[in-house]
A and B are shown apart, each in its own frame.
Chain A
């Protein structure tokens, strides 16, 4: 299974997570979002980029509770809460935002 971007194919698993996170690009993120019926806007990019930076530093995708707390601290309480994140990513910020960010499924996410 693969996404096709600019003529290139990028492998993903049965749920849609990239097999190799090094293959991620912004164009691929747009393609994954499209497959999730989401349109990328500034707010969604903000979360996706935050996740990528977190993974880059700690080599782990944060649990949802860790994500909301960290967003609340850096971007304020109006963005660091479950309601805001579920409005952006209705099927779950951990699932959809991590998938668009090219990260593995968060540890402990079922």
Chain B
């Protein structure tokens, strides 16, 4: 059964996103929100962490947090899905459980 992993810290400041991705199992979901959304941008020093998991885990990012930080949709790594608040709730209910990476 799958887990939804939730990351809300900048990947440039802490290792939460890296540790999360390294522990996520095939079929799990990873939701980036708050400062975690900086991890979703392509062409950065940490882009490889998510790209290495392509096809194994599904990565989601919270749209309102992207907009607040001025990140346009075109700058996201391929394959990442933008969700809104109701979408966030749907993700939680669609997984067996959630795990926060603080």
Q: A and B touching (C-beta < 8 Å)?
A: no
Could you list which residues of chain A lie within 8 angstroms of chain B, going by C-beta atoms? none
